[in-house]
Amino acid sequence: MQNDFKEDVPNSGGTDEIPVNTEIPAPSSPIRQPGLFSRWINSLVQMGLGESMLRIGTNVFSVLAIGVVIFLVQAFYRQTPNQFSENSGQAAGPVGTVVVDVNSMPALDVPVISGISRAAQLHTNVPSRPRQEISNYTVQDGDTVFGIAEKFGLEPQTVLWANYNLLLDDPHSLKPGQELSILPVNGVYWEWLGGIPFGEWAEFYGVSATDIIEYPGNKIDRNSVGDYANANIPTGTWLIIPDGKREFVSWSAPLGVTRENPASARVLGPGACEAVSGGAVGYGTYVYPTNKHYLSGFDYSEKTNHRGLDFAGSEGEGVYATDAGVVVYSGWNNYGYGNMIMIDHGNGFQSLYAHLSALYRGCGQSVGQGEGIGAVGSTGRSSGAHLHFELMAGIKVNPWDYLPPP
């Protein structure tokens, strides 16, 4: 329906009339209503499930696509003949044997792949059998009882126990050029001198007569020895005592040298003193006897019969009393200590200072803690300047247990 009404507006500016109402053309075609699938999708979006459905649809599509690809590949290979499985010669019937002259065939130029070649092993290393014989070893510069023992896989005490006639159970006796006997096993090497039943002799070393007689390294004829407990073994025979043990023979100063009874030290040499009455008494605390608080030689080790500390020091450096007391030995020692001083502290403890190059205090003199008593040296059985220091209280104790931290 058209609107014929027009409003007259004064035209003051000389322009044309402007219609108030404009006629709107009717749509050329009707508007489509959304389909069922679209309405369903819109509903899912409004419910917040659009993103989830999109992911699910993508996964389903991927699975279907993979399935289609697999199907197409299988179909392709079913249609392609397998040239390796078919034999045209067999299909045509039997064929006569063809003789090929190998010499007439052209040489093939086969490329050589570079790599690491393995040479043929002409010799095979066979593990050596356990050693049963005694070996000889020449001591070298810088060798120690510990180092030699480690080199042969033995305990350090075994090196001493196998060489008593040379080392006298004293690790300080080790010198370059010495020929040592190295046992094949840990244990003792000793001479059978008779005089007691062989079984008792074996028990002294903590083993049985069987252990010694049946050890292959001793090469004893079992048929000739008779009863093992009273074995018929010639006296003077040196025997390996496998896993045997013995007490070390004391080479050091005796224990219990006190100011009241110093006579026990007289066997040590000319430095022994007479009895002393009175004198300084120690505090029971101990200071380092040298300027350097570290070792340059052996540590305290019962395994090697080294019951002291070898403190580092240069020739002539001061040596100091570890605690107050009275000098009960001052002079030369005949058992390897060289020039030696021993102090009785009056409280059950004694201290010993060995290998000195000079002695500053003599018998019977009282000394204070930290007072100079001598100088570092290398007298006696010593391989270089150092101070051998011992602390005793009825037995030889480990000085590290009494000295302050370095």
HEC profile of 299-340 = CCECCCCECCEEEECCCCCEEECCCCEEEEEEEEECCCCEEE
Identify whether the C-beta of residue 231 lies closer than 8 Å to the C-beta of residue 198: yes
Give me the amino acid identity at 259: R
CATH number, domain 262-401, options 3.30.450.20, 2.70.70.10, 3.40.50.880, 1.25.40.20: 2.70.70.10
The two three-digit tokens of residue 61, written as one number: 């599509």
Output the pTM of the full model: 0.49
Give me the amino acid identity at 322: T
Domain residue spans of the chain: 135-242, 262-401
Tell me the fold of 135-242: Membrane-bound Lytic Murein Transglycosylase D; Chain A (3.10.350)
Identify whether the C-beta of residue 211 lies closer than 8 Å to the C-beta of residue 202: yes
List per-residue pLDDT tens for the chain, 406 residues long: 444 444 443 444 444 444 444 444 444 445 555 566 667 667 766 666 666 667 777 777 788 888 888 888 777 777 655 544 444 444 444 444 445 454 555 554 544 444 444 444 444 444 455 777 899 999 998 888 888 999 999 998 999 999 988 888 888 788 899 999 999 999 999 989 888 999 999 999 999 999 999 999 999 998 899 999 999 999 889 999 999 998 877 655 556 677 877 666 666 788 888 888 889 999 999 999 999 999 887 888 877 778 889 999 999 999 999 999 999 999 998 878 899 999 999 999 999 999 999 999 999 999 999 999 999 999 987 878 999 999 998 888 999 999 998 8
